[in-house]
Amino acid sequence: MNAMEHGRRRFLKRGAALAGLAVGGIRSTSGQTTLASITPEVRPRDSFAYGERSRFENSVRTPRPGDSGPGSRWTPLQDLVGIITPSALHFITGTGQGSALPDIDIRQHRLLIHGLVDRPLMFALEELKRLPSVSRIHFLECASNSYLWLEDRKAETVQETHGRTSCSEWTGVPLSVLLKEAGVQKEASWLVAEGAETGKQTKSIPLEKAMEDVLVAYGQNGEALRPAQGYPLRLVVPGWEGINNVKWLRRIKVVDQPYMTRKESAQYANIGLDGKARWFQFQTGPKSVITFPSGGQRLPSRGFYEITGLAWSGAGAIRRVEVSTDGGRSWKDAELQEPVLRKAHTRFRFAWNWDGAEAVLQSRCTDELGTMQPTLAELSSFRGVTPNYWLSAKKAIHRFNAIQPWRITREGSVHNAMFS
């Protein structure tokens, strides 16, 4: 018996307890158990009960210039080890500049599944936690990761250029389990997910992807989601652009066509030079970046260094990472650090002796489909633009996965060489 079938049988076995009461035509899983009896009370903060890092560690997320609120903060990739991003350092986006995070009471929050289904369902958080769950490690990446400009200055550090990607262990219920229990009707082909924040972000997602590997997640890195990451519920849509991973999830409507919501029809359309828009570009391309040495850092002296960085692809696992220390004239294979997982960050390492001369470091990755990360010239040719199109565009750039070069001077300082 395969794992999927085993999980389905577990679900159906527990499903007798889900038959419950029908309220307004929607099946409730609450039964006669009150939420007060299964939801822990809110307790006062205790800084020693919930651990804190050493006062000598000061790595933090940085805000986008001009953003005074929690709307956008970037992960300090240059300070991380391994592939897991601490929850407290996971990048934030999607709340809007200056807007407050939703403060959701889990005793009141519900997830509704309705639309083209046989049995509309409504779940409280604790009811979802009773269902068969899985834990998977996946990256998330904003479509506008990587920045080349920050207002009127060039992006310099790896946190500025690539800080809108992070990787976590996500825990939750496969969306396919919930949809099968609701009974998806034959004319259904899409779903529309909606968040509970002030703007109620909505996103259309093909039903095929929802049934493949999408999670309704309530856990991140072994604990409950953080408020900035969608507490108490969010979608995790592996390998697809961040906009699909709807946070503060409150509603999923099964439909027969995409809804063309504001963000997906305007902000996230790929506008060509001819003025025509291309919609529904979901999957992220292969991408890598050296995090040490990287922009803003300094090598104190010549000698041995371990070049390290991260690689990822929305198509699956990373199969190869190559490193160049001479500006792309020659390439050598880097070592991939285990574990190497599908649709997750992969850590790579490369031994290097710096002789004190000026050097340009680059990395490029190849995923399991054989797709290689492009150079700036290759990406420009594919998109039908010149390289200067990217380098002069002082705005967020969507779906930019060109090779990132870092220049090391004779004095050991490291700078963004994308513009060189």
> What average pLDDT does range 20-28 have in this prediction?
42
| Domains of the chain, earliest start first | 3-37+94-270 (3.90.420.10), 287-416 (2.60.40.650)
**CB 313 within 8 Å of CB 367:** yes
- Cα–Cα nearest to 349, from 302, 303, 309: 309
Q: How far is CA 51 from CA 21, 45, 209, 224, 261, in A?
A: 42, 11, 38, 15, 41
Between 322 and 280, name the one with better pLDDT: 322
Q: How confident is the model at residue 8 (pLDDT cuts 50, 70, 90)?
A: very low
The pLDDT value given to residue 173: 98
Lowest-confidence range among 61-70, 326-335, 376-385?
A: 61-70
* Whether pLDDT at 274 is above 70: no
Of the chain, the percentage scoring pLDDT greater than 70 comes to 82
Q: What is the pLDDT of residue 279?
A: 62
Mean pLDDT of 307-326: 98
- Closest by CA to 399, choosing from 179, 164, 236, 47, is 164
User: What integer pLDDT is reported at residue 19 of this predicted model?
Assistant: 40
Q: What does the angle CA 22 – CA 23 – CA 24 come to, to the nearest 5 degrees?
A: 115
Residues 112-135 have a mean pLDDT of 97
Tens-digit pLDDT profile for residues 61-119: 998 877 766 678 999 999 999 999 999 999 998 654 446 789 999 999 999 999 999 99
Tokens coding 326: 């001479």
Each residue of 146-185: pLDDT tens digit? 889 988 899 999 999 999 999 999 999 999 999 999 999 9
Interior/surface letters 180-205, b for 16+ CB within 10 angstroms, e for the rest:
ebbebeeebebbbbbbbbeeebbbbb
**Which one, of 72, 52, 70, 73, lies nearest residue 61 by Cα?**
73
3-class DSSP string for the chain:
CCHHHHHHHHHHHHHHHHCCCEECCEEECCCCCCHHHHCCCCCCCCCCCCCCCCCCCCCCCEECCCCCCCCCEECCHHHCCCCCCCHHHCCECCCCCCCCCCCCCCCCCCEEEEECECCCEEECHHHHHCCCCEEEEEEEECCCCCCCEECCEECCCHHHHHCCEEEEEEEEEEHHHHHHHHCECCCCCEEEEEECCCCCCEEEEEHHHHHHCCEEEEEECCEECCHHHCCCCEEECCCECHHHCCECEEEEEEECCCCCCHHHHHHCCEECCCCCEECCCCECCCEEEEEECCCCCECCCCEEEEEEEEEECCCCCEEEEEEECECCCCCEECEECCCCCCCCCEEEEEEEEECCCCEEEEEEEEECCCCECCCHHHHHHHHCCCHHHHHCCCCCCCCCCCCCCEEECCCCEEEECCCC
The length of the chain is 420
- Per-residue confidence (pLDDT) for residue 13, from 0 to 100: 47
pLDDT surpassing 90 at residue 348: yes
The residue among 310, 277, 273 whose CA lies nearest residue 161 is 310
Fill in the amino acid letter for 25: G
Of 380 and 41, more confident: 380
Nearest CA-CA partner of 140 in 201, 66, 218, 84: 84
Which range has the worst mean pLDDT, 9-23, 84-98, 242-256, 293-307? 9-23
**Taking CA 139 as the corner, what is the angle to CA 133 and CA 142, rounded to the nearest 5 degrees?**
125
The pLDDT of residue 3 is 47
Backbone φ and ψ of 127, nearest 5°: -70, -40
pLDDT at residue 260 in the model: 76
Above pLDDT 90, what percent of the chain? Answer: 69
How far apart CA 258 and CA 188 sit, in angstroms, is 11
276 or 251, which is more confident: 251
Residue the block writes with tokens 């009960």:
49
pLDDT of amino acid 14? 44
User: In this predicted structure, what is the pLDDT of residue 96?
Assistant: 45
Residue 302 corresponds to which tokens in the numbers above?
Answer: 């010549």
Higher pLDDT pick, 310 / 42: 310
Q: Which of 29-33, 112-116, 399-403 has the lowest mean pLDDT?
A: 29-33
Band of residue 394 on the pLDDT scale cut at 50, 70, 90: confident
* pLDDT for res 223: 97
More confident residue, 12 or 24: 12
- C-alpha span between 269 and 271 (Å, rounded): 6
Residue-level pLDDT at 90: 97
Q: What distance in Å separates the CA atoms of residue 310 and residue 337, rounded to the nearest whole number?
A: 10
pLDDT, greater one: 156 or 10: 156
- pLDDT of 340 higher than 90: yes
Tell me the C-alpha distance between 70 and 102, whole Å. 11
Across residues 400-415, what is the average pLDDT? 97
